[in-house]
Structure 1
Amino acid sequence: MRSTFVVLVILFLSVLAVAAAVPTVSYTIHIKSADLSGFDVEMRFRSATPTVRVAMAAHPEYDDRYWRYIENFTAESAGKQLNISKTQDTVWKIDGVSGIVVVRYRLHLPPQVNENRDAWKPFLTSTGGMVGDLHSLMYVVGNSSAPSQLTLDMPADWKAASGLESNRDVRIFAGSAELMLDAPVMVGKFQEWNFTAGRVPHKIVVWSPADAPTFDSAPLVDGLKKIAAEAIRTFGAPPYHRYVFLFQNGGEAALEHLTSVNIGHTFSRGMDGLFEEVAHEYFHAWNLMDVRPVERVGLQTTFARPTGVLWWNEGATIMFADYLLRRAGLPGSEPSRITHLETAMTRYFSSPGYITLSAEQMSRGDTDPGGLGDYGGSTHLQGELLSTILDLAIRDHSDGQRDVTDVMTLLSDRFDYRRGITNHDIEQAALQVCPSCDIHTFFKDHIYGAGQIDFDKYLGLLGMRSEVTRSAALGSDGKPSVDLRIGPLQNDVADGFKIRITNPQSTWGKAGLHTGDRLLSVDGTPVSSWPDLRAWLRKLKIGDVGRLEIVHNGVKKTVEVPIAGYDVPTVKISEISAPTPRQLKLRNVWMSAN
């Protein structure tokens, strides 16, 4: 009797396992070499309700709005064409469903505008390209965790690589719908290398145009192995079960994902700056993708709400990436941590926004720059500096036994991509790592509140001090440079081209211009885009008077701007007189990124 019961239990569990493995959403991407202007997508799923909505997710950082390129959208169920309506730009409502639904559409790839393609955007050529993720696939609204499968119907001599779980059939990948929409797929004829770090499989893929010159791949492979090994050694088990580095030779920029990263790089130009970018984007797998802002949890059909924690997700990541490079012995842009800090502090003192705006405000301004008013700045820079001084405080209070990497590790243990973080969570993690630190005051003064960082307070822990001097900004010809601290508020000019002022004390701010003003013309010439304004700015000379016609708060007016130069800071860090052995010990450990 007992053996019969055991057999029944085993059979029951086997049925559950098989059921769990069966995808509830099946995607097929059809790539035809005869027409590479786009590709066809088929999506199959079962619905228990007569009405269902499918949607394209909006990326929280780069919302490329690929819903604009969807063509020939149809849906059928039980052999009948279904009624379709759009409830918003990204959402299709399907009525009359009965059981299995088959959705079909074509993604018509937009033309490449820039000389170099953004590495994360889908494309196709005769030798390969990139498909998948939220640029190509839709999901069933309300069912983002559905087990899903992606099948690639593509030329027979092409390969495919992705951070998704792969099948024995190299054309089939699996994962939840949310992971499916996060994971791009490189297809075509490409080079690939495999390695293991922390017992986890990693893959390096480089797709190159047919006419691209060959390059020595050994430094690339060796460097990526070192970065991955150092990250896992420092922060423990990675937040992924597999990882793929997807390089587009000749592309530009980069974008992180949970189990992969897109990186554009022209390898014929060497490796300068590559490992810095790779380390930064790769570590986002820990900090931003897995440990992510609460506002960015789950798939969303509209652009994510601004978040106040990017100072940590972006800024601390820059600091950690610098750690990893130095610990791995890989080249960076600056020879020492002191010179790196001098450069960062120089940028900090270049804009009053860092002193006027809290880290929360600056973080929100990353995706809502209009919310910063007439101040500019980078949450990446502000966050890197705040993470650095927090690190120094923790090291000092713990006599070198703890540091800010312990804060990151604790957050990784407590949170993942399904449960986002707030600044309170970061504060509590820092307090647990360093109970004797005055974490509350640090967050009150710098994260929730605004004010100038007392750098010498923290540099003093290393037996060092800083000096800030100012001088006229000079051009490459050694002459004073024109103040060009004006730019576009956004790239989309559907409601008119609007300007952004990044310093109220700039030439433009003093003249009475403000962020959000709609620019109509400059010196009588109509302006409708950033390239138009930039072309005019390049012609200006100190002593000129520019006449800008704008609309401010609904009122049209002309503003005269006397064109002038401006001052820039220089920061130099030096040793104080008679540093103590404790200060020297802390400095040596910090300088070596240990």
Structure 2
Amino acid sequence: MSTRARAAKAARNAGVRYTVSVLSAHAHLFAVTLRIEQPAKNQRVALPVWIPGSYLVREFSQNLQQLRAWQNGQPVALRQLDKHRWQAQAEAGEPLELRYEVYAFDASVRTAFLDASRGFFNATSLCLRVLGQEDTPHALELLSGEATAGWQVATGLTPQTVDAQGFGHYLAEGYDELADCPVEMGRFWSASFTAGGVEHRFVVAGAGEWMDGERLIEDTRKICETQIAFWHGQQPPPFSRYVFMLYASADGYGGLEHRNSTALICQRADLPRTPAPGEKPAALKATDGYTTLLGLISHEYFHTWNVKRLRPAEFARYDYDSENHTELLWFFEGFTSYYDDLMLRRAGLIDDATYLQLVAKTLNQVQQTPGRLVQTVAEASFDAWVKYYRMNENTPNATVSYYTKGSLVALCLDLTLRAEGHGSLDAVMRELWQRCEGGPMREADVLRALKRLGQRSYEGEIAAWVHSTDELPLPSLLQDHGVKVAHDKAPLAQQLGLRVSETGGSVVLKTVLRGGAAEAAGMAANDEWLGVEFAPAQRGGEAEAEAWRLHKLDELPPLRARRAKLTALVSRDKRLLRLPLDWPTESFTVRLAVGDAPKLASWLN
């Protein structure tokens, strides 16, 4: 039997088989058929309520409709058990077929999207789980048709029998693998490269013809080679192929990691542009959108090891029916956030000065978050389901990001290990990979690896940096490694304790930060700051009050001159309020620069 014939037979013999087609691109509807070869009596099915890597219950079942079932050619009654589970009144043994539709119009990386130009889905949004058969082989057939004429397919799933465009049969070892391999369909740009002996495919949907694909591929290849060498040296990575799926939109950003692929979104303007004849590609700067995109690519690729394989013990087996809590997101997201930009530096894509600007940006973000003194980064990890992914106007006052502070914890550990002459965090990460065999791990494993390589206990540091709200000792650690630490005057909004939106000539308060001058004055989120009023001044023997309209915050200092007090005129729920505001004392942001280049090189290179 030929390889192609064996592959076709494997797909046909899968115990759980899905067929996905475009029902209506304009109505954004996928049609799905689920065939269960050996159902249980009264077989139950369920759609996940969340997708691994994005820690929020998203209720994907809200988009499922027209669910029907048949057995032996006869309709089978279905009973809905709760928000995402159904039970078919079926007999055991005879094939059971379910058909349904899924509305797909969310362009994020987490769910599903469909229109006349593009289709994308995660199986967690489209494919009902067959309870009790999650570990049997699962087959997926992607049907082509009039709506998909000219489209291609990209996915990390193992192809069985597919056409030149990628439509056809795919096979997964079980539901977990199916859920971990998103599918991109449409007219996209595509190119491939080899890193670590493994073929990597990069597809971009929504890009303009001006995109510099050669640069994108070459820069991504450098990132991949650097990371594979980081984890494995000259050994091959733990996957045989990899797919980057990037959607370029007018205004979007995000990524979601998978076992051998990643789904990404960026702003179209952030893609590299083909240089004019004779023009050299511009050097990357910390403020460039393309630098941000490369950092995202680096972040999600690093997750291939750090969270998809080396992962919290609580994620040893995903529970798709409810929240999966862990206190270790500071490690899996935070440490990945530390290494994403560092890998850009080690790959030679940015220089020392640019990298330090990126570190300073993270340091200032944490320092400008009052919630860092309220919530530990371990608590932030556990509370991701109800706090980080459910942000509101009070989020900066009550929480800290396990991404940003977690990355600074990694930086502290790395610099401390290096200062004490006991290796680096690089060695700790590789030790954990070997110790946990690329599988589930606990905080105790981190402590054991630190103790073995650092030759002392690091329980005190982990207690202070992870399980308390103590400040991190970064300034001294950075200076000891050749970094010059300076301070600049903070932007006015930060000095006032505000985060604002300035559009259309209107200053609207998004967040009033805890302990700031704006909070002391009684300002609140959603207030519109209309203007300012100053106390009467003597002019020619008469007292005159001054009142000025405010269109943006930068207009305030010249109006204020040297006066210490002013009255803010704000609109709240259509009521006009006069709020006395004491001018704050100056505050500062951190600026990092190269101080001792040779000393710095021992860390960054």
- The TM-score, its normalising length taken from structure 1, stands at 0.76
Which residue in the other structure is 1:178 paired with?
A: 176
Change (3 A) 1:205 1:463: closer
Task: Please report how far the alpha carbon of residue 373 of structure 1 lies from its aligned counterpart in structure 2 after TM superposition.
Answer: 9.1
Matches of 2:89 and 2:55, distance apart in 1? 32
Change (3 A) 1:585 1:222: closer
Which residue in the other structure is 2:310 paired with?
A: 291
Please list the CA deviations of residues 388-428 of structure 1 after superposition, one character each: whole Å capped at 9, or x if unmatched: 110111223335xx2112222233334478x5333223222
Which residue in the other structure is 1:221 paired with?
A: 217
Q: Secondary structure at the match of 1:339?
A: helix
Q: Which amino acid aligns with 1:65?
A: E
Change (3 A) 1:79 1:563: farther
Task: Please report how far the alpha carbon of residue 189 of structure 1 lies from its aligned counterpart in structure 2 after TM superposition.
Answer: 2.5
Matches of 1:564 and 1:472, distance apart in 2? 17
Runs of 4 or more, structure 1, over 6 Å off, are 18-21, 370-373, 499-502, 511-514, 537-542, 558-561
Q: Secondary structure at the match of 2:61?
A: helix
Determine whether 1:312 maps to 2:306. no
Determine whether 1:159 maps to 2:152. yes
Please list the CA deviations of residues 52-101 of structure 1 after superposition, one character each: whole Å capped at 9, or x if unmatched: 32112212435443311111001222333223222222222223333222
Superposition map of 1:177-216 within 5 A: 177-208=175-206, 212-216=208-212
Instruction: Indicate if the aligned counterparts of 1:350 and 1:569 stay in contact, CA closer than 8 A.
Output: no
Instruction: Indicate if the aligned counterparts of 1:55 and 1:301 stay in contact, CA closer than 8 A.
Output: no
Superposition map of 1:242-391 within 5 A: 242-250=241-249, 252-253=252-253, 254-267=255-268, 270-271=271-272, 272=290, 273-331=292-350, 335-369=353-387, 374-391=397-414
Q: Which amino acid aligns with 1:230?
A: T
Task: Please report how far the alpha carbon of residue 586 of structure 1 lies from its aligned counterpart in structure 2 after TM superposition.
Answer: 4.5
Q: Secondary structure at the match of 1:343?
A: helix
Change (3 A) 1:508 1:572: closer
Matches of 2:160 and 2:417, distance apart in 1? 46
Which residue in the other structure is 1:543 paired with?
A: 567
Which residue in the other structure is 1:504 paired with?
A: 514
Change (3 A) 1:47 1:506: farther
Matches of 1:560 and 1:26, distance apart in 2? 66
Task: Please report how far the alpha carbon of residue 219 of structure 1 lies from its aligned counterpart in structure 2 after TM superposition.
Answer: 0.5
Q: Which amino acid aligns with 2:138?
A: S
Which residue in the other structure is 2:472 paired with?
A: 453
Runs of 5+ consecutive residues of structure 2 not aligned to the other structure: 1-5, 273-289, 502-508, 529-549, 557-565
| Root-mean-square deviation (Å) | 3.7
Instruction: Indicate if the aligned counterparts of 2:206 and 2:268 stay in contact, CA closer than 8 A.
Output: no
Superposition map of 1:403-552 within 5 A: 403-415=424-436, 420-436=440-456, 438-462=457-481, 466=485, 471=489, 473-474=491-492, 483-485=497-499, 503-506=513-516, 509-510=519-520, 543-544=567-568, 546=570
Matches of 1:429 and 1:361, distance apart in 2? 23
Change (3 A) 1:143 1:565: farther
Change (3 A) 1:456 1:377: same
Match of 1:86 among 80, 83, 86: 80
Which residue in the other structure is 2:131 paired with?
A: 141
Matches of 1:83 and 1:509, distance apart in 2? 59
Matches of 1:573 and 1:146, distance apart in 2? 53
Determine whether 1:30 maps to 2:21. yes
Which residue in the other structure is 1:6 paired with?
A: none
Change (3 A) 1:68 1:216: same
Instruction: Indicate if the aligned counterparts of 2:366 and 2:405 stay in contact, CA closer than 8 A.
Output: yes
Q: Which amino acid aligns with 1:408?
A: M
Change (3 A) 1:329 1:216: same
Instruction: Indicate if the aligned counterparts of 2:111 and 2:124 stay in contact, CA closer than 8 A.
Output: no
Matches of 1:181 and 1:563, distance apart in 2? 53
The count of residues paired between Structure 1 and Structure 2 equals 516
